[in-house]
Amino acid sequence: MHIAIIMDGNGRWATRRGLPRTAGHAQGARAVRKTVEVAARAGIHTLTLYAFSSANWARPQSEVAGLMRLLRRYLFTETRRCVEQSIRINIIGRRDRLDASLLRSIEQSERLSAGGTRMHLRIAVDYSAQYSIVEAARRTRGCPELTSQAFHHLLHEVDHSALPAREVDLLIRTGGEKRLSDFLLWECAYAELHFADCLWPDFDEHQFQLALDDYASRQRRFGNLAAETL
Instruction: Indicate the helix (H) or strand (E) that contains 6.
Output: strand 2-6
Reduced to 3 states (helix: H, G, I; strand: E, B; else coil), residue 187 is coil
DSSP 124: E
Biggest CA-to-CA distance, the chain:
58
- Please name which of 221, 200, 216 lies closest in space to residue 32, comparing C-alpha atoms: 200
Q: Are 174 and 196 in contact (CB under 8 A)?
A: yes
* Cβ atoms within 10 Å, residue 220: 10
In sequence order, the 6+-apart residues with CB closer than 8 A to the CB of 52 are: 67, 68, 71, 93, 124, 125, 126, 127
Catalytic residues: 8, 56
β partners of residue 127: 53
- Cα angle value 104/106/108 (rounded, 5°): 70
